[in-house]
Amino acid sequence: MVILKSQTAKVIFAVIACFLVNSLWGNTWHVDVWLKIKGGTILSSFARDIVMAIAVLLGTYIIIKPKDICSFLGLNSNFFKGFLIALLSVLPLYIVFPIIGSINPDLTLSLIIRKSLFPGFIEEFVCRAFMFGLFFRYAKVGFIWATLLPAVLFGLAHTYQGYDLVSSLAAFGVTFVGALYFSWMYAAWNFNIWVVFGLHFFFFFSWGIFNVTGTEVVACG
């Protein structure tokens, strides 16, 4: 464990750690090649997410005492309370979407796991628990600044969902705003990672179950 006393040193560490983790995130496809796993499968998604989870744990281990890591990352928060809060927050979608949309005929268990369950956890684990946590809880730079960099990185990581400049910017805008909202919810509910994981999961799940015009870009996962 490294003890950094000055705020400047902590901010520098947070910037470097976030940059490295985000860079790794964009290259996890190499895992499929190394392990000879077919892309677009549950095993492929799981392997990539495990790599990211290990990177987060190692990055946290550098500056947080081992006994405090789970607390710092919000993992020891109340799981059922977090999911209940998330479900109640997203419930209106499950009321409106059946009215304005239609059931997705291509929905499968594999799709739910790869596009809702896995992304819901790993994106919040990386962006909220780790990145936002480094700036807000560790470096203590204030909510706006702590939210800004992870939100930008998160949004840029989703520009691939667009098929042209306009749709790429739309993907960036939606995920950027979502990152701001999730950061606020994470802090508001005492850094309970299960709240934002639940929100992410239920959002993606609703977009997976129902075909609703206007959600295509975000629903790409």
Read off the pLDDT of residues 182-205 as tens digits, 9 standing for 90 and up: 999 999 999 999 999 999 999 999
**Whole-number pLDDT of residue 150:** 74
Distance between CA atoms of residues 25 and 102, nearest Å: 33
The helix or strand, by DSSP H or E, that contains position 211, with its residue range, turns out to be strand 210-211
Give residues with Cβ within 8 angstroms of 17, minimum separation 6: 59, 62, 130, 134
**Whole-number pLDDT of residue 87:** 96
Distance between CA atoms of residues 213 and 83, nearest Å: 27
**Whole-number pLDDT of residue 221:** 39
Give residues with Cβ within 8 angstroms of 9, minimum separation 6: none
Q: Tens of pLDDT along 97-132?
A: 999 989 988 889 999 999 999 999 999 999 999 999
**Whole-number pLDDT of residue 151:** 74
Q: Which two tokens stand for residue 139?
A: 């470096």
**Whole-number pLDDT of residue 22:** 87
**Whole-number pLDDT of residue 47:** 97
* pLDDT-flagged residues of the chain (< 70): 154-172, 214-221
pTM listed for this prediction: 0.89
Q: How many CA atoms lie within 13 A of 96 on its CB side?
A: 8
